[in-house]
Structures are given as C-alpha cells and as structure tokens.
Amino acid sequence: MITLKNISKVYKTKSTQFEAVQPTSITIQQGEIFGIIGFSGAGKSTLLRMINLIEPPTSGEVWFDEVELTDLKLKQLQQKRHEIGMIFQHFNLLLNKTVYGNIEFALKAAGVPKSERAERIHHILKVVELSDKVHHYPAQLSGGQKQRVAIARALVLNPKVLLCDEPTSALDPQTTENILEFLKSINEKLGVTLVIVTHEMEVVNTLCHRVAVMEKGAIQEELTLAQSPTATTSIGKLLIEYREKENRHKQYDIRLGGVIHV
Amino acid sequence: MFDNIIMLLPEIKESIAQTFMMVAISLSAAVLFGTSLGVYVFLTEKGSIRPNAVANRFLNYTINLVRSFPFIILLVVLIPFTRLVAGTTVGPLAASVPLSIAAIPYFARLVEQALKEVPHGTIEAAIALGAPKRYIIKEVLLNEARSGIILALTVTTISFISYSAMAGMVGGGGIGDLAIRYGYYRFQTDVMIFMVLLLVIIVQVVQFIGNLLAKKLDRRHI
C-alpha cells in the first residue's frame, strides 16, 4: 500500500549538512498497523512526514496505491492527500473554528459540496462520540477530545491510511488508553491502515502489528510482534521485554479476575 | 472663551469630514492591497508554503523602501503621481494618494507579522488534508490571525489619522491640519487644544473598538 524507496532527508545550511533520514526503504501493507519507534531526533517523524510529502524528501520515491507521489503535480498530490489522513501530537486544530468548522474545513478542502457536509460531519462526530460538542471551540475541550476532533477531521474524508505523529504523547495515561483503543477500532472496523510514530512502548504494544526501530536516521530492525521476534537493538529488546511483562500482567489480571468472580 | 472655536465650527466640521475621508480611502487601499501583499510576503518566505526567494526579497525591499520615507517627503516625491491619479495635487482626495501609498506597505508588514503568529502545525495540518492554497489563506491564515489583523488595522488607522495632519502641506485639510494652521500659526491656543482633544477622543474610541472586536473574534483561549 505504501512503499518508500531509498527515501532520505538531508538538511543543509551554508556550512553544515545533517542527514535526518538516511536512505531508507519500507513497505507497509494494507490494513496493518505499522509502528515507528525511536528516541527523539532519530528521524522517525521526518520519515512519517515524507509519506504524504509535507516534508519533501531529498531523494527517493514514495509510492501509495501504485501511484508515485513524488512524481505528481501539486494538484494531483492534493487529491491523493485526501486519501491519507494525518493526526499530530499537538492536534493542530483551527482554534478560531468550532468542532463543526474544523471538520467542515477538511470537506471543503476536498471539494465536497455544501449539501453533503452537514450529514457527514454529524455522522463522523457520532463515530468519535463528540456529537454534544459540535459547536464548541477547541479551547473548550480536553486533550483527548481535541485529538478525537482531529481524528474525525481526518476520517471524514474516508482515508485509506491514517498517519499518526506521536498521537498520545501530549495526553495523560488514561486518555492515551482511550485514544489507542479508538485507533485500534478504526483499524479493525473501517480497515484503515495506520502508521504510528511514537516513543512510547505502550503504544506499540497495544496497537502495532509490525514495528520499525529507528536510530540515527536509519531503520535498525523491523519486528513482527505476533511472531515473538528476537530483537538486536536496545530499543527492540526493551520493547520485547515490556511486551512479555505486560502479557504476564494481563494473564495474571484475568486469573485474578476469575478468582474474584468465584 | 470659546469664541475662536465657535467661529471656526464650520471649518471644524469640514476638517472632521476631511480626516474621515482621507483615513477611509487610505485604509481601504491598505485592506485591499496591503492584505494581499502581506499574505504574499508571508507565503513566499523561506520555509513557508510557496517559497520564492526572488519575489520575497523584492517585496521586502519595496516595503522597507516606502516605509523608510518620512511621510512629508513621500508626499512631495509623489506629487507627479498624485496629479496623474487624482488629476490634482491639492485637497483631501489628492492627499489620499500618498496616504494610500504609505498605508499599503505599512499594513502589509503588520499583516505579515500577524500571520507569523499562526502555529506552523496548523498550516501543516491543512496541507496534509490536501487543502488548496486559497483555502489555506482564507480559512487557516487569515481566520486564525483575525484578531491580530484587527489590531493591526487599529494601529494603522491611528497612525494614518496622525499622518493625515501632514496632508495639510498639499491642502488636504483635516483635523490635525486645522490644529496647525489656526492653533499654531495663528496662536489660537484654544483651537489647538480643542483639535488635539478631538484627536485624543477619536484615537481612544478607535483603539477601544479595535480591542473589543479583536477580543470578540479571538476563540483561541477560553
């Protein structure tokens, strides 16, 4: 579904140059939840942002659904971007517009006629369970609610992919859990492919089918979590360890729950 | 005590009308052309959404150039142009030409500054949605910066009420000009004080309305 071929990003100033992403290739399958994990400055956000070309790559190709995005004219790229939703750590909502206005902006951007907009907005607000906040401004919402508005804004265009740039890093643990469950259900019920950049083990463990570990601008390893892989990088090892511990906890909780029930 | 003022009442009324006319014309020019100029400078900046170093540098130099002129000199320099546009070089209509020329880059710079306050992430989110440029300008840039732009317009209005006093040089008239001609040159101190008081009130009112409107339009905080 998404293929990055030898994609790289180099930031140049007059005297120095910094390779944020070394030539990297990955393929993301339709319907999967693909994680990119790494420390800050590893280049994971840059890599994600090159998928929809809001960060133009220095070299390499981006393919989406058999179309080379890096080869498109701006107008065609804008069309394709309607199929690639994106959410951010700091939500990036329009603060002078209501919840309704924010979602309507996405529909306007995609050229959806006015007659269809209201129905689609109300429908998607039901999906994210924010129907009662339709006329609120973002400043009147909690962090979790803002992120759900951002998700609604992305989903209202029925994208095939949702790019998530640290979607829960600005949220408290409970809200994080709520948003992660929600993202999972989007993937399962609507079949939306998710690409998630994060530095939180919990996010990867709860959601991801596959994860790429990124360090110093390069993908060090790719792990398929269901296959109990062996990791070689320190982050990968931490992740596996975390996963085993969480799974043990889960079993323990279930057992405990059973005892209480009896 | 108020003899001078009472005698001058017709002139005072006329001067108020002249000030309003000059300010209205130059502000209209500022809003109409200055806004687009400010937006364009913002868009063409390095790292913005339509970077164009050549256009950006040219426009920046031009804005700085016009803004460097002491207004009274700009007024004189522009006399041939004023004659071309207004058909005359005297009167409030003629004075509105150099006022407009000065107001456009003045407002453009303030608009550009207001747009810089829009968080980059918000613009990025709009780009990620595949929004065409015109929507990003209208619904993201101008809408998110609307309070700042209203305040910019307020500052511009007040500056140009003050600038319009110098338009007296070319017979533009106006409140400030009356204060200078009668109050200063003819030593009618009461007239001068009255006219200055009038300006103080107008400026206070303009600023009050500007602040109120900016606050009302700002939804970024609760």
- Mutation target to probe the B interface, by most B beta carbons within 10 A, among A95, A107, A163 is A95
Residue with tokens 């992919």: A161
Percent above pLDDT 90 for chain B? 72
- Smallest CA-to-CA distance from A36 within A238, A236, A230 is with A236
Long-range interactions of B197-203: CB distance < 8 A, separation 24+: B198/B12, B198/B16, B199/B161, B199/B162, B199/B175, B202/B161, B202/B175, B203/B158, B203/B161
The CATH superfamily of A2-83+160-226 is P-loop containing nucleotide triphosphate hydrolases (3.40.50.300)
* Cβ pair B130:A81 closer than 8 A: yes
Average pLDDT over chain A reads 92
Q: What is the chain B residue with the closest CA to A104?
A: B139
- Predicted local confidence at residue B36, as pLDDT: 97
CB atoms within 10 A of CB B203: 15
Strands A218-224 and A33-38: what pairing?
unpaired
Domain boundaries, chain B: 3-217
Partner residue facing A108 (CB), from B122, B135, B222: B135
Partner B contacted by A82 (CB < 8 A): yes
Task: Report DSSP letters for chain B, one per residue.
Answer: --HHHHHHHHHHHHHHHHHHHHHHHHHHHIIIIIHHHHHHHHHHSTTSSS--HHHHHHHHHHHHHHHHS-HHHHHHHTHHHHHHHHS-SSSHHHHHHHHHHHHHHHHHHHHHHHHHTS-HHHHHHHHHTT--HHHIIIIIIIHHTHHHHHHHHHHHHHHHHHHGGGGGGGT---HHHHIIIIIIIT--HHHHHHHHHHHHHHHHHHHHHHHHHHHHH--S--
* Joined tokens for residue B190: 């009461």
Residue pLDDT, tens place only, A213-227? 999 999 999 999 888
- Predicted local confidence at residue A261, as pLDDT: 38
Chain A hits for B135, Cβ within 8 Å? 105, 108-109
Query: What is the average per-residue pLDDT within A94-100?
Result: 97
ipTM exceeds 0.85, yes or no: yes
Rounded Cα distance between B66 and B64, Å, is: 6
For residue A253, pLDDT over 80 is answered with: no
More confident residue, A34 or A248: A34
For residue B123, pLDDT over 90 is answered with: yes
Q: What is the chain A residue with the closest CA to B119?
A: A92
Residue pLDDT, tens place only, A151-210? 999 999 999 999 999 999 999 999 999 999 999 999 999 999 999 999 999 999 999 999
* Cβ pair B130:A94 closer than 8 A: no
Q: What is the chain A residue with the closest CA to B146?
A: A96
Domain B3-217 has CATH 1.10.3720.10: yes
For residue A65, pLDDT over 70 is answered with: yes
Q: Measure B213 CA to nearest chain A CA, in Å.
A: 14
* Cβ pair B122:A80 closer than 8 A: no
Residue pLDDT, tens place only, B33-57? 999 999 999 999 998 999 999 999 9
Q: Measure A137 CA to nearest chain B CA, in Å.
A: 7
- Predicted local confidence at residue A248, as pLDDT: 84
| A-B C-beta contacts closer than 8 Å | 81
- Predicted local confidence at residue B102, as pLDDT: 96
* Cβ pair A52:B132 closer than 8 A: no
* Cβ pair A93:B143 closer than 8 A: no
* Cβ pair B130:A78 closer than 8 A: yes
The DSSP output letter for A6 is E
- Predicted local confidence at residue A172, as pLDDT: 92
What are the start and end residues of each CATH 3.40.50.300 domain in chain A?
2-83+160-226
- Predicted local confidence at residue B4, as pLDDT: 83
Residue pLDDT, tens place only, B144-198? 999 999 999 999 999 999 898 887 767 778 888 888 888 888 888 888 888 889 9
Partner B contacted by A52 (CB < 8 A): yes
pTM as predicted: 0.90
Chain A hits for B51, Cβ within 8 Å? none
- Predicted local confidence at residue A262, as pLDDT: 34
- Predicted local confidence at residue A260, as pLDDT: 40
At a CB cut-off of 8 Å and minimum separation 6, what does A187 contact?
Answer: A31, A33, A193, A194, A207
pLDDT band of residue A254 (cuts 50, 70, 90) is low
Q: Measure B68 CA to nearest chain A CA, in Å.
A: 31
